[in-house]
């Protein structure tokens, strides 16, 4: 039994992947709690899709994908603002049109016949292809997310749970929302490298859903979400190694299964009570 648990970690590629999923689990788990509490799940998905063309272009020209993702978000914001001015569209429809268009454009660039191999990993992730530089970048971004979440904790808590008191203390809701948006962008960039553009939202939402089933206090919820995120990441690597399935899909599958199980248990408990 012990040999089966230790065997995968004899491979250097899996040891690097282990560090990657730990970074993803910690960053996305911690920030996912705020995403769920603020009701920003749609924003998280929109961010990941909006930055996709930027990620692909960055990979094509050989610049850091973080830079490409940031530029992609700026372009998306400008496009949404421009589309929102079309009266027949409206704000919500403008967001939907722009985000889906950008995702389609990025997919076209990544999967076209002339594109170099490997760009498809930006869609579905390839945690086993983590490079030392990518690992260092993921660790740095995860550290920024965790540090930023810790510094912003009082502001996020006050604005999220007691807006009236927050205003009395001079805390503006806009600043909390802006802080959350920046941290969310960084967390998505951490997760995209491992899980890809389409699956990264699972790493943000599922651990928070599981944690919220067992506690409503924010600090324990953050700790539990990080633990769930890391555990599912490690479990996905085991599943990939022994079952021969894609690591990113295995991790996302475990995350979704954990969230569904937690929601089911909560429903059973509610009915029983």
Give me the count of residues in the chain: 273
Exposure pattern of 191-221 as b/e (b: 16+ CB <10 Å)? bbbbbbbbbbbbbbbbbbbbbbbeeeebeeb
First to last CA, the chain: 40
Dist. CA 30–CA 198, nearest whole Å = 20
Which SS3 state, helix, strand or coil, does residue 218 take?
helix
Residues 210-220 have pLDDT tens digits of: 999 988 889 99
Residues 178-236 have pLDDT tens digits of: 888 889 888 988 888 788 888 889 999 999 999 999 888 899 999 999 999 999 999 99
Residue 57 inside a domain? The answer is: yes
Provide the pLDDT for residue 219.
92
Domain count, the chain: 1
| Domain of residue 215, residue span | 15-266
Helix axes 91-111, 65-84, angle to 10 degrees: 140
Provide the pLDDT for residue 229.
95
Instruction: Kindly write down the DSSP assignment for every residue of 179-206, as one continuous string.
Output: HHHHHHHHHHHHHHHHHHHHHHHHHHHH
With contact defined as beta carbons under 8 Å apart, do 127 and 247 qualify?
yes
Output the tens digit of pLDDT for each of the chain's 273 residues: 677 777 888 888 888 999 999 999 999 999 999 999 888 888 788 888 888 888 888 888 887 777 788 788 778 877 776 776 676 766 667 778 888 888 888 888 877 767 776 677 777 778 888 888 888 888 999 999 999 999 999 888 887 776 666 666 666 767 788 888 889 888 988 888 788 888 889 999 999 999 999 888 899 999 999 999 999 999 999 999 899 888 888 999 999 999 999 988 888 877 766
Residue 248 inside a domain? The answer is: yes
Question: Quick one: 60 exposed, middle or buried, by C-beta within 10 A (0-12, 13-18, 19+)?
Answer: middle
Residue 5 inside a domain? The answer is: no
DSSP symbol at 120: T
pTM for this prediction: 0.86
Residue 9 inside a domain? The answer is: no
Residue 261 inside a domain? The answer is: yes
Residue 50 inside a domain? The answer is: yes
Residue 232 inside a domain? The answer is: yes
With contact defined as beta carbons under 8 Å apart, do 252 and 194 qualify?
no
With contact defined as beta carbons under 8 Å apart, do 227 and 28 qualify?
no
Q: What share of the chain is helix, strand, coil (3-state, %, to 5)?
A: 85, 0, 15
Provide the pLDDT for residue 59.
81
Q: Which of 226, 203, 212, 213 is CA-nearest to residue 264? A: 213
Dist. CA 1–CA 43, nearest whole Å = 43
Cβ-based neighbour number of residue 70 at 10 Å: 17
CATH number (domain holding residue 90): 1.10.3470.10
């Amino acid at each position: 039994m012990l040999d089966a648990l230790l065997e995968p970690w004899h491979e250097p590629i899996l040891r690097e992947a282990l560090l990657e999923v730990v970074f993803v689990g910690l960053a996305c788990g911690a920030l996912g709690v705020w995403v769920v509490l603020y009701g920003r799940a749609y924003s998280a998905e929109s961010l990941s899709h909006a930055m996709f063309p930027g990620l692909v272009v960055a990979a094509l020209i050989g610049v850091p994908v973080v830079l490409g993702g940031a530029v992609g978000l700026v372009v998306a914001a400008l496009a949404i603002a421009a589309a929102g001015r079309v009266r027949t569209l409206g704000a919500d429809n403008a967001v939907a049109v722009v985000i889906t268009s950008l995702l389609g454009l990025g997919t076209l660039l990544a999967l076209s016949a002339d594109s170099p191999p490997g760009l498809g990993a930006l869609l579905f992730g390839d945690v086993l292809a983590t490079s030392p530089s990518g690992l260092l970048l993921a660790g740095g971004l995860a550290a920024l997310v965790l540090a930023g979440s810790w510094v912003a904790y009082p502001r996020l808590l006050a604005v999220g749970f007691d807006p009236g008191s927050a205003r009395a203390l001079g805390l503006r809701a806009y600043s909390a929302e802006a802080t959350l948006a920046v941290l969310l962008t960084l967390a998505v960039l951490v997760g995209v490298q491992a899980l890809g553009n389409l699956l990264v939202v699972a790493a943000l939402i599922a651990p928070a859903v599981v944690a919220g089933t067992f506690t409503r206090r924010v600090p324990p919820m953050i700790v539990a979400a990080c633990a769930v995120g890391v555990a599912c990441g490690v479990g996905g690597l085991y599943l990939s190694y022994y079952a021969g399935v894609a690591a990113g899909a295995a991790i996302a599958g475990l995350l979704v299964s954990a969230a569904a199980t937690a929601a089911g248990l909560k429903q059973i408990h509610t009915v029983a009570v």
